[in-house]
Structure 1
Amino acid sequence: MSRHPDTQVLRYTAFSADPEGGNPAGVVLDASGLDGAAMLAVAAELGYSESAFLTGRGEPAGAGAPGAREYTIRYFSPKAEVPFCGHATVATALALAERDGPGDLVFNTLAGTVPVTVTREGAELRATLTSVEPDVMDIAPDDLAEALAALDWPAAGLDPALPPRIAFAGARHLVLAAATRERLADLSYDFARLEALMHRLDLTTLQLVWRAAPDVFHVRDPFPVGGVVEDPATGAAAAAFGAYLRDQGLVPEAVVLTLHQGEDMGRPGTLTVELRADDARVQVSGTGTRIGG
């Protein structure tokens, strides 16, 4: 099926109230007339790291989420479908809130069920997603060595206090911590080599981080498997990183973290990550705005 000529594609940026900041995403609020190939074609034409496509018309959610509207959502990079995308989730939730008003949503993704709440804070809307159950895994020494070689990062340039791990909260991300802000800023990697490793390990991005304070981090996310050199603000990786920090005992059981991303790309954004003592899942929140009015 080809793209229907009446398909309306909205453009939003997530994790910044400035359309020149954060991470842009395409949003199709009614993709019921599109198949996967057509969705991929839309995403490729837009060229954003991901775009989101809603099917169905927002039926009332089940008993576990009274008052919420429930949708099935699919995410596509310019090269392939991905199981979950945080920034496109935020963008879609904000688009729905502008159309229908703030409130509770339930998104059924390939990775599982993701509740989202949109609230109004003054003139801004803020979306908060709750991840699926996370997991944190070791990475084999040979795979770590290959990742560092593709990045051209020496092992001595890593922060020993934040050990490399693969973290999952809807998608898999390799967490690597730089010892200095300068190391994080120096990102010029072998695209094909890193892409091959990421396909082999089923990684969506690399979550490259530098710890500026106990609860503040600067992060960058190479995304060659999506056909994108770098993602400007990555909600799925932020959720996975929160799970990683808790798993490694690097933050309190209940804490709010601030992640700064996109500064080195000229698209600064802020992601807020909340860990709760009574819930293994991770909350990620941020603002956003429509691009182009």
Structure 2
Amino acid sequence: MISRLSVSIVRACLREGTGGSPTAVLDETPLSDDERCRVPVLAGTSHAAFVAVHGSEVSLRFFTAGGELPACGHSTVAALAFLAARAGGSEYRGALRAAGRSFAGRAVREGTRFRAVFEPGPVTLRDPSPDECALVLPTLGISPGTLVPGARVASAGRARLLVPIASRSELAALAPDFEALRAACDRFGLLGCHVYSVPTSAGRIAARMFAPSIGVLEDIANANSTACLAADLAGRGVTGIAVDMGDSLGSPATITATARPVVRVGGVAEVPGAVLELTG
């Protein structure tokens, strides 16, 4: 039984000051993993980030209704903004730790908001197998002829399939079969599918992340997938991207990433002045 919890609902990865992905951020507290999975449900968010400060290092744990994640990019952006708001001042720098990995993060105040950036660590890339393509791609509902060559399996903690598509309009029209997608992703150990439009000359991209295997049918913002995409596109000469997400869910979000030479990813977040009290 969850006793009273104080939770900040941070809007991570805003687009021009609006939208973003609401993320529950709270101080570490003694809870079972099942109770942690209930926090985003009670808070009305897709994810929850638990923050524990140990001297100069901050430990992070991430949960959805489906379980714990080894990494979560937009929740890291939210946690950095949360820490920066608490610290005060114009800039926050922290040594973060999640799933046994240490990495640096920073957040700079921009008026009432914070621009956060961090290094998600090494990204592994490989071509998908014929079986992965044959079983996963049809579940996305992509019209024939709109797929673009270049699908990749990428991981910044957990593997996901990056799927290029011809246009933003085709992306907006996708209606995946989530049950079939989950079964296909579970078979190959994939977190989900990050479907994205062909980058413009300026590196602007639209994307949708489908992850029913972790209890999130569609993510408003997915920074780790953006980091994976940045790493993949860097090999094709694109070193900086801005990825628009969340439009299909009515909450526009933008995540930025560079790969010169290491991958850095981030976004703008807004921390509420008041906290939400949860019981349940």
How many residues align? The count is 271
Equivalent residue, structure 2, for 1:65: none
Equivalent residue, structure 2, for 1:93: 80
Measured in 1, the distance between the counterparts of 2:272 and 2:183 equals: 33
CA contact (8 A) 1:4 1:33 kept: no
Q: Which amino acid aligns with 1:274?
A: T
Distance 1:26 1:18, change over 3 A: farther
CA contact (8 A) 2:112 2:270 kept: no
Equivalent residue, structure 1, for 2:167: 180
Q: Which amino acid aligns with 1:40?
A: C
Q: Which amino acid aligns with 2:12?
A: A
Equivalent residue, structure 1, for 2:51: 54
CA contact (8 A) 2:230 2:240 kept: no
The one-character-per-residue Cα deviations of 1:31-86 (angstroms, maximum 9, x if unpaired) are: 2322322211212323422111123x3411xxxxxxxxx11111111111111111
Task: Report how far residue 88 of structure 1 moved.
Answer: 0.7
Measured in 1, the distance between the counterparts of 2:195 and 2:32 equals: 34
Equivalent residue, structure 2, for 1:128: 117
Q: Which has the higher contact order (CA 8 A, sep 6+)?
A: 2
Equivalent residue, structure 2, for 1:168: 155
The one-character-per-residue Cα deviations of 1:188-225 (angstroms, maximum 9, x if unpaired) are: 11111101122222222311100241311111111212
1:287 match: secondary structure: strand
After superposition, residues 1-293 of structure 1 pair within 5 angstroms as 2-5=1-4, 7-16=5-14, 21-28=19-26, 30-55=27-52, 57-60=53-56, 70-101=57-88, 102-110=91-99, 112-154=101-143, 156-160=145-149, 163-214=150-201, 215-246=203-234, 249-252=235-238, 255-277=239-261, 279=262, 282-291=263-272, 293=274
Q: Which amino acid aligns with 2:123?
A: P
CA contact (8 A) 1:74 1:109 kept: yes
Measured in 2, the distance between the counterparts of 1:128 and 1:148 equals: 32
CA contact (8 A) 1:25 1:49 kept: yes
Measured in 2, the distance between the counterparts of 1:150 and 1:111 equals: 34
Measured in 2, the distance between the counterparts of 1:105 and 1:172 equals: 27
The one-character-per-residue Cα deviations of 1:214-242 (angstroms, maximum 9, x if unpaired) are: 31111111121222221011111111111
Measured in 1, the distance between the counterparts of 2:208 and 2:179 equals: 18
Task: Report how far residue 10 of structure 1 moved.
Answer: 1.2
Measured in 1, the distance between the counterparts of 2:259 and 2:161 equals: 20
Unaligned runs of 5+ in 1: 61-69
Give the alignment's Cα RMSD to 1 decimal.
Answer: 2.0
Q: Which amino acid aligns with 2:3?
A: H
1:8 match: secondary structure: strand
* TM-score, length-scaled by structure 1: 0.86
Q: Which amino acid aligns with 1:85?
A: C
Unaligned runs of 5+ in 2: 275-280
CA contact (8 A) 1:148 1:155 kept: no
CA contact (8 A) 1:111 1:170 kept: no
Query: Percent identity at matched positions?
Result: 29
Task: Report how far residue 132 of structure 1 moved.
Answer: 1.3
Task: Report how far residue 128 of structure 1 moved.
Answer: 0.3
Q: Which amino acid aligns with 1:127?
A: A
